[in-house]
DNA sequence: CGGGTCATTGACGTATGTCAAAGGCCGTGG
DNA sequence: CCACGGCCTTTGACATACGTCAATGACCCG
């Protein structure tokens, strides 16, 4: 299946941006098998409390990591795009602590934990790469905290757009100045801890300032530098490196 | 040094709460060597951008993980107490993405990455345990996002107190109803994304509701169940398990 | 006794939420 | 091909939780 192969390739590329891997190790990733599933918008891929035996690799679509309060209030704490293995954590913590829900129609592969564990065992450098990916995830979450906690709506929104822009660019889904973002304003509100109404007003000011254009579900960034400055955005936390980290850890 | 040994013991216990380790593996942790340092309140332990070659194990004190904006606004995205290895991530990502700053006078050990890598190489189950610890850190961050993003001040504050209470209890520093919290109200504000003034008012309501007492830098929880309910607190994300995860991953 | 840090209080400002209604867009079905 | 319905966006009026500022008070330590 063509799209499955491209998802695995995207995942491998993501790992390669941060970790040094041999050809054999990359092949092992590309040879991963998993069953393909589809989720419709606003449907769960996995629910909190569930015991999972596979991790989800997104082939196409957009997925949110949801935390939820007793009273039903929701907060998206991370978004995942094509090529993301969105619950790599579950390999070491198989009890889901959050909800993964499709924001748009999403195709994904369920890659059995047994396969990922086998890879981690056979190729210590892959174990290291997986661990590193979880550490990058933590860095993104840490940014998400200051975003919701300290930044004003415009700044917050700009920061999110910058993050999605760069991640989309590196995933080969577009460029930082032109990329898809298939989320409703209500979804953006859940990401930004803003009401949908305020997201609307905030996006309007960004458009009025001629920083972005949003037609349909596609973002055009008219002035990247300005947007990044407004969003207090420094890309280093994403760890898209010119030179990936060396094989320091497990492969002596 | 007695206190150094107890810090390593606390760290080992933390790992054992989540991962199954052999006696030999635990011994390897307890045998770790590191230079002891002390940091005064509001001084950096490590700064963003720094390349580090050691991870910090807290012997005594309180440390915050700070994100900072260009304009100087700060946000604490995690707190670390005695027994926490507060930048285990740095083993796989040696370029610090955040600031670690002592909130109170803090003693810590710098454990060289080379030592931790050696352990991960010799004992795959320890590599797994380290990775798992980073995954738990991500779960805590995810909770921190919804805390700052969606919860009202009282709820937010209660949630934080519950988290620190349980972590202190499991670290052997007190009980969930009586534990030290050596942070000023300004520090709590940085954790909660509230102003110090509003933290003050919020703590007052918690006291007026007879849920807690705070004398000096020590918290007494008068009604744990009520506090947890008010804080929308469900401890499962902390992964303090009755039965730790089995050795699934790296030790075939 | 004096200086510094921290907690507390009150008055006031504001960014953002809530509610409710209207308008656009698009697919579906008759 | 048109009409309907559903989802999303947009708008306006109004409410409020929280921030800011500034002063005072408490405590601790030298």
Q: Measured between CA atoms, how close is A127 to chain B, in angstroms?
A: 9
Q: Rounded distance, CA B30 to CA B111, Å?
A: 12
Q: Rounded distance, CA A105 to CA A87, Å?
A: 18
Give nearest nucleotide to B195 (CA–C1').
Answer: D19
Specify the 3-state DSSP secondary structure of B85.
Answer: strand
At residue B21, φ and ψ (nearest 5 deg) are: -125, 150
Q: Token pair for residue A156?
A: 């917050």
Determine the distance between A153 (CA) and D11 (C1') in angstroms: 19
User: Over 90: is that where the pLDDT of B151 sits?
Assistant: yes
Q: How many CA atoms lie within 13 A of B216 on its CB side?
A: 4
Task: State how far Cα B128 lies from the chain centre.
Answer: 19
| Nearest CB partner across the interface for A141, out of B95, B145, B249 | B145
DSSP state of A53: S
Can you say whether the dihedral through the CA atoms of A22, A26, A31, A32 is positive or negative? positive
pLDDT bracket for residue B216 (50, 70, 90): confident
What pLDDT digit, counting tens, does each position of A86-97 carry? 999 999 999 999
Question: Quick one: which of A92, A41, A89, A95 has its CA closest to A64?
Answer: A41
Paired strand residues for B26: none
B67: left (phi over 0), alpha (psi -120 to 50) or beta: beta
Residues with CB under 7 A from strand C: A 152-154, 156, 189, 193-195, 197-198, 216; B 41, 184-186, 196-197, 200-201, 203-204
Q: Token pair for residue A167?
A: 């991640």
Cross-chain Cβ contact A131/B93 below 8 Å:
no
CA distances from B21 to B15, B27, B48 (A): 8, 10, 33
B126 and A CB contact within 8 Å: no
What pLDDT digit, counting tens, does each position of A17-59 carry? 999 999 999 999 999 999 999 999 999 999 999 999 999 999 9
Q: Which of residues 179-198 of B touch strand D (CB under 7 A)?
A: 189, 193-195, 197-198
A32-49 in b/e form (b: 16+ CB < 10 A) is: bebeeeebebeeebbebe
Q: Rounded distance, CA A28 to CA B26, Å?
A: 32
Q: Where are the beta strands (DSSP E) in chain B?
A: 35-39, 44-46, 54-60, 63-68, 74-80, 99-102, 106-112, 178-180, 212-215, 218-221
Residue B70, Cβ density class (10 Å: 0-12 exposed, 13-18 middle, ≥19 buried): exposed
B95 contacts on A by Cβ (under 8 Å): 236
User: Over 80: is that where the pLDDT of B29 sits?
Assistant: yes
Determine the distance between A227 (CA) and D6 (C1') in angstroms: 34
Which residue has tokens 């041999």? A22
Q: Which of residues 132-171 of B touch strand D (CB under 7 A)?
A: 152-154, 156
Task: State how far Cα A180 lies from the chain centre.
Answer: 13
Chosen for mutation from B79, B122, B135, B198 (greatest number of chain A CBs closer than 10 Å) is: B135
Give nearest nucleotide to A73 (CA–C1').
Answer: C17
Kindly state the percentage of chain B with pLDDT values over 90.
91
What pLDDT digit, counting tens, does each position of B186-206 carry? 999 999 999 999 999 999 999
A245 contacts on B by Cβ (under 8 Å): 92-94
A128 and B CB contact within 8 Å: yes
Cross-chain Cβ contact B91/A245 below 8 Å:
no
Comparing alpha-carbon positions, the chain A residue that sits nearest to B189 is A149
**Other CB atoms within 10 Å distance of the CB of residue A178:** 14
**Other CB atoms within 10 Å distance of the CB of residue B108:** 28
Q: Token pair for residue B160?
A: 């934080």
CB B47 within 8 A of CB B82: no
A134 and B CB contact within 8 Å: yes
- Quote the pLDDT of residue A58: 97
Q: Rounded distance, CA A168 to CA A190, Å?
A: 20
CB A138 within 8 A of CB B89: yes
Q: Which nucleotides of D are covered by protein (CB under 7 A)?
A: 7-13, 17-22, 28
pLDDT bracket for residue B250 (50, 70, 90): low
CB B24 within 8 A of CB B76: no
Find residues 175-204 of chain B whose CB sits inside 8 Å of chain A.
193
Residues in chain A predicted with pLDDT less than 70, given as ranges, are 1-2, 249-252
A17 contacts on B by Cβ (under 8 Å): none
Virtual torsion, Cα B35, B1, B136, B138, nearest 10 deg: -30
Find residues 68-107 of chain A whose CB sits inside 8 Å of chain B.
68-71, 73-75, 77-78, 89, 91-95, 97-98
pLDDT bracket for residue B249 (50, 70, 90): low
Q: Rounded distance, CA B252 to CA A122, Å?
A: 10
Q: Rounded distance, CA B61 to CA B68, Å?
A: 22
Whole-model pTM: value is: 0.96
DSSP assignment of B226-244 equals HHHHHTT--GGGG---SSP
A239 contacts on B by Cβ (under 8 Å): 93
User: Over 60: is that where the pLDDT of B237 sits?
Assistant: yes
Q: Token pair for residue B102?
A: 């002592």
What number is the average pLDDT over the span B173-181? Answer: 96
Q: Rounded distance, CA A156 to CA B27, Å?
A: 46
Element (H, E) at B160: helix B153-170
Q: Token pair for residue A148?
A: 């919701």
- Quote the pLDDT of residue B18: 96
At residue B222, φ and ψ (nearest 5 deg) are: -85, -30
């Amino acid at each position: 299946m063509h799209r499955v192969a491209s998802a695995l390739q995207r995942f491998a590329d993501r790992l390669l941006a941060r970790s040094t891997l041999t050809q054999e190790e990359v092949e092992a990733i590309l040879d991963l098998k998993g069953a393909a599933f589809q989720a419709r918008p606003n449907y769960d891929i996995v629910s909190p409390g569930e015991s999972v035996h596979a991790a989800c690799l997104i082939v196409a679509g957009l997925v949110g990591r949801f935390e939820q309060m007793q009273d039903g209030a929701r907060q998206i704490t991370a978004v995942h795009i094509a090529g993301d293995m969105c619950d790599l954590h579950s390999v070491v913590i198989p009890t889901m602590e959050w909800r993964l829900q499709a924001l748009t129609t999403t195709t994904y592969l369920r890659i059995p934990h047994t396969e990922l564990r086998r890879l981690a065992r056979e190729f210590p450098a892959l174990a290291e790469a997986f661990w590193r990916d979880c550490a990058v995830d933590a860095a993104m979450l840490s940014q998400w905290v200051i975003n919701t906690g300290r930044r004003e709506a415009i700044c917050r929104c700009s920061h999110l757009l910058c993050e999605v822009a760069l991640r989309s660019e590196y995933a080969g889904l577009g460029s930082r100045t032109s990329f898809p973002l298939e989320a409703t304003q209500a979804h953006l509100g859940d990401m930004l801890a803003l009401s949908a109404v305020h997201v609307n007003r905030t996006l309007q000011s960004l458009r009025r300032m001629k920083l972005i254009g949003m037609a349909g579900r596609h973002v055009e960034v008219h002035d990247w530098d300005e947007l990044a400055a407004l969003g207090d955005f420094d890309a280093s936390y994403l760890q898209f490196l010119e030179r990936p980290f060396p094989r320091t850890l497990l492969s002596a």
